[in-house]
Amino acid sequence: MAENGLFDLSGRVACVTGGNGGIGLGMAKAFVQHGAAVAIIGRSQAKLDSALAELEEVAGSGRVQSLNCDVTDRGAVEAAVGEIVSEFGGLDILVNNAGVNRRADEPHLLSDEDWQHVIDVNLTSIHTATSVAFPHMKERGRGKIINIGSMMSIFGTAYAPAYAASKGGVVQYTKSCAVAWAKDNVQVNAVLPGWIVTEMTNQFKEAFPDRYAMIVGRTPAGRWGEPVDLGGTAVFLASSASDFVTGTAIPVDGGYSVW
C-alpha cells in the first residue's frame, strides 16, 4: 500500500529491465508497494508470467504490466517503452537491471564472443534503454534512472573480466548522464549490489562451498543478501526523497566492500 510523504510513488510509472526475477523483481515489488505502476521487461516468458502474478498479488490488476523484450535490440526497446507509455500515460522511473555474466579462469581465456555479449547486455543496453526513456521523462519534467552495477564496479576479478569492465562502465555512464540531465530534473544513480541470492548465484554455495564461507566471513552483516534488501534503496532513489541526489553509486552489500 502506498504511503504519504517522501517515499510515496503514487502516480509514478516505473520500468524495470530484467524485472522478471532476482534483484529486478525485488525492486519492482517495492515500487508497487509504494504506489507506483510498474512494467517489467525480460526475455523468458515463463519467468515474466510468474513474476507478473507475484506483482499482481501485491499491486492488484491494472497497475502492473510485463513485456517480452531483448534489451540489446533498440527497436524492441522502443516498442516496449511505447507500450508502457501508452498503457500508463508516461514514464518516470527506469531501472536498468538486465545483466549476464560469462566466466573464464583468466582474462585472456575469455572469448571475444563472450566479451561482446556481456558488454552488449550489461552496458550498451543501458545506453539504449536510457536514451529511449529520457525524452519521456524530460517531457514530464522529472525522472529517476537507477542503473544496477555491482561490487565489480569497485573490484576487479580474474574470472569475470568482461563483467567487471561492464559494471565499472555502468558507474561512469551514470555520472555522465547525471551531469547532462540535472538541468532537466532527471536524477541518475547507480546501485552496487553485493553477494545477493539470485538465479545467477544460487548454485554458488553448492559449487564453491569454501568461497561461499569466505564471503560470509568477510561480510560484516554475516550473510548473503536477498532481493528484498535492495528494495529500500530503490524506493529512495525512485522517490522525491532523492531529488538532490544524482551521480552516486551506492553499495548494498552488507559491508563487504568496506574491507
Per-domain residue ranges of the chain: 13-249
Q: How far is Cα 114 from Cα 70, in angstroms, rounded to an integer? A: 17
Angle in degrees, 0-180, between the axes of helices 161-181 and 125-140, rounded to the nearest 10: 20
Q: Which of helix, strand or coil describes residue 76?
A: helix
**What's the pLDDT tens digit per position in 195-228?**
998 876 777 777 788 988 999 999 999 999 999 9
Q: In the chain, how many H helices and how many E strands?
A: 9, 7
- Percentage of the chain surpassing pLDDT 70? 98
**What's the pLDDT tens digit per position in 24-55?**
999 999 999 999 999 999 999 999 999 999 99
pLDDT exceeds 50 at position 239: yes
As its CATH architecture, domain 13-249 has 3-Layer(aba) Sandwich (3.40)
Burial grade of 236 (CB within 10 A; 0-12, 13-18, 19 or more): buried
Hey, which residues does 40 pair with through a beta bridge? 16, 66
Taking the model in full, what pTM does it have?
A: 0.95
Beta strands at 186-193 and 37-42: parallel, antiparallel or unpaired: unpaired
Quick one: pLDDT at residue 207? Answer: 79
Q: Is 163 designated active site?
A: yes
Stretch 3-13: mean pLDDT: 87
DSSP 8-state class, residue 72: T
Quick one: pLDDT at residue 62? Answer: 72
Contact 40/14 with Cβ under 8 angstroms? no
Q: How far is CA 107 from the centre of its chain?
A: 26
pLDDT exceeds 60 at position 3: no
Q: Active site residue: 159, 163, 173, 212, which one?
A: 163
**What's the pLDDT tens digit per position in 119-178?**
999 999 999 999 999 999 999 999 999 999 999 999 998 999 999 999 999 999 999 999
pLDDT exceeds 80 at position 1: no
Quick one: pLDDT at residue 61? Answer: 64
Quick one: pLDDT at residue 4? Answer: 56
Q: Which of helix, strand or coil describes residue 70?
A: coil
